[in-house]
Amino acid sequence: MQDLRVNRTHLKTERSCQELRRGGVVLLRLANGAACFLRSAELIADEDRAELQQLAGSAALLVLTHTRMDSLGRALPDGFSGASLSTHNLDPTMLAALAVDQPSPGLLGSGLTIVSERKGSLADYSTRLLRIAKLVPAALISRLPTRDTAIHEKLCKEHGIMIIEDLDEKRGLDRKGIGLYFPLQLGCSQVVRQRFLVSPCAGSNPATPANFPTLSRQ
């Protein structure tokens, strides 16, 4: 049962990461019912922010890690994993600059609304999921105003959106640091894939080290 649950978690996380890598949307939900629609900030198009806001019914936020905030000249207090920025007054060019461009002085203007985010929050898990997907950990999220899971399920079913729980993400992280792929014990026949069980040559995947006779010069 444990292996079956791990495999299901792996497949669910893998599908979510594939969706994010192609610029799609997933719903991320915590154990307490808090949820948000999420997409990668580095892959957003001009209309993606409006679509995200329409889906969730709330304003879109740009989530950056504490490392990114430090590079932009804004240090966060201890215990905070990152920050969320209101995107109300940000054009797509500025969004991309804050998320992925080379940091430069003055990007974080005084008119931006910045909220520090704690570890374990939706913002924190959003950037973690993007790391698993091998994307820049900068997320565009819109929080859902309700914690009713039935409404979450209905919305996602109507729009063909995947749901990933924070527990799924934790299991993926616990198995191998921050990577997605779980370690497997490979047998000899699995090291090199062969069409037949009999290896075509001794050097491909030998059962034992090859021994060559030593010829002595007379």
CA separation (Å) from 189 to 106, 151, 176, 203? 57, 48, 24, 13
What integer is the mean pLDDT of 92-107?
85
Q: What is the pLDDT of residue 7?
A: 65
Identify the architecture of domain 2-175 in CATH: Alpha-Beta Complex (3.90)
Q: What is the pLDDT of residue 3?
A: 54
Segments making up each domain of the chain, as ranges: 2-175
Supply the pTM of this predicted model.
0.74
Convert the pLDDT of each residue in 6-24 to its tens digit: 567 778 888 999 999 999 9
**pLDDT of 78 over the 50 cut:** yes
120 confidence band (pLDDT: 50, 70, 90):
very high
Convert the pLDDT of each residue in 184-206 to its tens digit: 344 444 444 444 445 555 555 55
Convert the pLDDT of each residue in 126-181 to its tens digit: 999 999 999 999 999 999 999 999 999 999 999 999 999 987 766 555 544 444 33
